[in-house]
Structure 1
Amino acid sequence: MLQYKMILINYIISFAAGFLCCSVGVGYALKNGYLKINKKD
Structure 2
Amino acid sequence: NTLPAFLTQHGIQTGPTRKVLPSLEDVFVRLVSHGQDMRSVA
Report the TM range for the smaller structure's normalisation: under 0.3
- Which is richer in helix? 1
TM-score in terms of structure 2 length = 0.27
Q: Which has the larger radius of gyration?
A: 1
TM-score in terms of structure 1 length = 0.28
